[in-house]
Structure 1
């Protein structure tokens, strides 16, 4: 990599975006970090060298803005910090490549597959995996469900961070669901408990294997991101990860989420990207953003990281930006 390789992290105001920026500051090679956000008043300014005010990804002019910034600032790599940007960059990765910019993304097919939870689980159901949770779509009729054992968990087919999840505990609650749930939600039995939820990061080789992994037992905040993560050794999950990776062929940072239920690890979802736990993992010795830059830009296969066992607790912190330009 050249001196001061320019990296742009989008969605830098969010916990994933500024988490990536924080971990990239520990890179053993020189980087110039840009962070972009639709929010001017953003903590992202503390973690990047230059902050960019961006239009919304959904705006018609966003692609032109992004390409102009990449060209003007000689940005070599764009890293999506929010899910909508991952899907956007996945769609336009060829246009970035034409201007010598690399989008740090997983396999195109895997990103598309994970966009819809029903499509994802329906695809995996053809492989008869023991880790799969029985999953159905909701068409508004109780009679259409093959399994009705309360509580039932309703999840939006498209969404992230547990947003929109609804736990249904009775037939009365089921029949009272709004019509907006029809065809937009999947239904699953509620399995396990919150104390036995795990976030597993792997670095996929794109061929059906993975270089390394880090396992966290975690709890979620009301916002849906990890607010407590404890390093755990889960060698008994390797066979499940190998099965899934052989099918999905992830490339680079990939996040698998499981719950332990009746002695088995059950798959909650797969995030084909750097997830909100990335800064927690880095504190424990697993810096996946740096691994990814080393791999994709320098061709260095990720080695087994030296893990510092422990746990990480997230808390709210204040960041002040004074009018004289200094902040702490």
Structure 2
């Protein structure tokens, strides 16, 4: 395979840009095709070819457009960089792969169910005898709040069962604050607060179709508004080995991220994201290029050697890109033209 044609979805997301930049740094000969719903999505202007697509909630139209692009560009691999699209690709993986030459790097419905619902995540960890933060649901377990507080006390984490990043995550310092946060809420969990005196870690585990761990890297991360703005690699072997064990039990396919903190000298995972991470680009700089690793292992059937991870820090700083307005307008016109043909 002289050239690998790769489609990156959600090209305007933080994940999408990180995946594209990692592919651009790869030693493989790759043609990057990017898709997004917005013409000003940065990833569209970093790729070799770009297309506008409808929102994934317009499922039938999205699938039709996707298959058209996959066939036209002879795509070999699909990387999903939009959280909203994960379930779509999980449902249509078999169909897409049967109708095209593309391998879709997505997870099973089982893995998505465990990771997308934080209550399910806690129960997965519990059932497999891994440390887990004590957790109850609201309003289902509201009768248990008093007894729960006697065990965990304040501060307390209050967050949605389903959500992304630090969105709508709060720390309740007392009973009054807790009642205010729970007012007229549902699908909430109350969770033991894990102190950050030893820092917070993000661990990337990349797995093949057969569950084999292809790569692993642990970073101590420093957050600002829920986004990793600085990350440091170091001698975190115990952390990566622990997360490898969890990954073997979970059996994700492709990239998977584990967020954890320490309590009483034990690592407690509090969130699992079965997708590319906002630190994908940071990992690439440190020697772990996850998109390239997946292509080499799953597409080219190459053995992945032990990786030499650079011991260093990565600082995130936003950059400005100059994009010709004509290119944005061209993408919009092509999209309008395609919609008109579809209606005809």
Q: CA deviation at 1:178?
A: 4.6
What residue is the counterpart of 2:207 in the other structure? Answer: 204
Change (3 A) 1:151 1:161: same
Residues 207 and 246, structure 1, Cα contact 8 Å, conserved in 2: no
CA distance in 1 between counterparts of 2:269 and 2:314 reads 23
Aligned partners of 1:238, 1:314: CA distance in 2, in Å? 23
What SS class does the counterpart of residue 181 from structure 2 fall into?
Answer: coil
Q: Give the CA deviation at 1:295.
A: 1.1
Distance (Å, rounded) in 2 between the aligned partners of 1:209 and 1:45: 32
Q: What secondary structure, in the 3-state scheme, does the structure 2 residue paired with 1:181 have?
A: coil
Between 108-117 and 86-95, report the one with greater CA deviation: 108-117
Structure 1's 212 and 77: CA in aligned 2 closer, same or farther, altered over 3 A? closer
Paired positions, count? 322
Judged with a 3 Å threshold, the aligned counterparts in structure 2 of structure 1 residues 227 and 195 are, in CA distance, closer, same or farther, namely farther
Aligned to 2:336: none
Deviations 1:205-244 (A, max 9, x none): 455652431110001231x231111112212225532431
Corresponding residue of 1:305:
307
TM-score normalised by the chain length of structure 2: 0.87
Summarize the alignment of residues 6-155 of structure 1 with structure 2, pairs less than 5 Å apart.
Answer: 6-60=5-59, 61-99=61-99, 100-129=101-130, 131-139=131-139, 142-145=142-145, 146-148=147-149, 149-155=153-159
Using the alignment, how far apart are the partners of 2:89 and 2:327 within structure 1?
33
For 1:296, which of 291, 298, 316 is the aligned residue? Answer: 298
2:255 aligned with 1:253, yes or no? yes
1:4 is aligned to 2:6: no
Q: Evaluate the alpha carbon distance shift between residue 236 and residue 178 of structure 1 in structure 2; reply closer, same or farther with a 3 A threshold.
A: closer
8 Å Cα contact 2:158-2:181 kept in structure 1: no
Cα distance in 2, alignment partners of residues 284 and 269 from structure 1: 23
Q: 2:168 matched to which residue of 1? A: 164
Q: Comparing 35-44 with 120-129, which one deviates more in the overlay?
A: 120-129
Tell me, which stretches of 5 or more residues in structure 2 are unaligned? 329-344
Would you say the 8 A contact 1:140–1:179 is kept in 2?
no
Distance 1:239 1:205 in 2: 17
Distance 1:164 1:69, change over 3 A: same
Secondary structure at the counterpart of residue 288 of structure 2: coil
Stretches of structure 1 that go unaligned for 5 or more consecutive residues are none
The Cα of 1:107 is off from its aligned counterpart by 4.5
Q: 1:127 offset after TM fit, Å? A: 2.7
Aligned residue in 2 for 1:215: 218
CA distance in 1, matches of 2:185, 2:173: 16
Partner residue of 1:175? 179
Question: Could you tell me how far 1:41 is from its partner in structure 2?
Answer: 1.4
Deviation (angstroms), 1:143? 3.5
Of the three residues 295, 314, 317, the one matched with 2:319 is 317
